[in-house]
Amino acid sequence: MIFIIVGMNCIFIYLFFEVGGAALISKIFTPFTNALFLWGGDITAGIMRSIAVWASLWYLCYWLYKNKLFIRI
């Protein structure tokens, strides 16, 4: 199900990532992941930030899928 949701809006998620949407989301999550996971080192905070960015991008695709909004060419 995870791959179906992303696959239905694969063009949108690719363009969103390339335009800089993932970098913006990463900047939003940086203070929170550093505050919560910096005790494990920079690597742990970076991994958790990457997971948070991935989860938020997946939720964006899920929201589009749930509302039946599909970006097509």
User: What are φ and ψ of residue 41, in 5° steps?
Assistant: 105, 175
For 29-73, what is each residue's pLDDT tens digit? Answer: 999 999 999 888 889 999 999 999 999 999 999 999 999 999 877
Q: Which has the closest alpha carbon to 41: 32, 52, 33?
A: 33
Q: pTM, whole model, 2 decimals?
A: 0.84
For 1-20, the pLDDT digits (tens) are 889 999 898 999 999 989 99
